[in-house]
């Protein structure tokens, strides 16, 4: 890396008719844009996955993340487990209140 840029360098021997190495050829190419684009794509994919698996209001794991986690646990050797589901009456009022708080920040 030179001055924040990334280069791909390839080196190879130059041989004469008797296969004796008489020199070296070196080619370097600036691949900064490709590396940066790949990092941006990776960050966007991570964000897309986070949004798909988490509640937008609380940031807590959502239903799809729970199902994925339970499926992963089902194929482990950890033995029996339990799952507790809680239903809170009128939770919509709490969510709407959280939206009001978020809007004022």
Look at 19-23, 32-36, 97-101 and tell me which has the smallest mean pLDDT. Answer: 97-101
pTM over 0.75: no
Question: Number of C-alpha atoms within 13 angstroms, CB side, residue 66?
Answer: 8
Whether pLDDT at 100 is above 70:
no
Q: What is the pLDDT of residues 29-79, one digit of tens each?
A: 999 999 999 999 999 999 999 988 888 888 888 888 888 888 888 888 887
d(CA 43, CA 3): 23
Q: Exposed, middle or buried by CB within 10 Å (0-12, 13-18, 19+), for 62?
A: middle
d(CA 13, CA 22): 8
The position carrying tokens 């798909």 is 52
pLDDT averaged over every residue in the chain: 84
Helix axis angle, 63-74 to 32-53, nearest 10°: 90
The position carrying tokens 């020199």 is 23
Please tell me the predicted confidence (pLDDT) of residue 75. Answer: 82
């Amino acid at each position: 890396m030179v001055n924040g840029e990334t280069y791909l360098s390839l080196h190879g021997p130059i041989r004469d008719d008797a296969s004796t190495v008489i020199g070296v050829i070196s080619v370097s190419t600036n691949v900064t844009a490709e590396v940066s684009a790949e990092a941006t794509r990776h960050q966007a994919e991570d964000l897309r996955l986070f949004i798909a698996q988490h509640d937008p209001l609380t940031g807590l794991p959502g239903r799809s993340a729970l199902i994925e986690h339970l499926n992963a646990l089902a194929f482990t050797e950890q033995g029996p487990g339990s799952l507790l589901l809680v239903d809170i009456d009128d939770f919509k009022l709490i969510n709407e209140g959280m939206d009001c708080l978020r809007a004022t920040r």
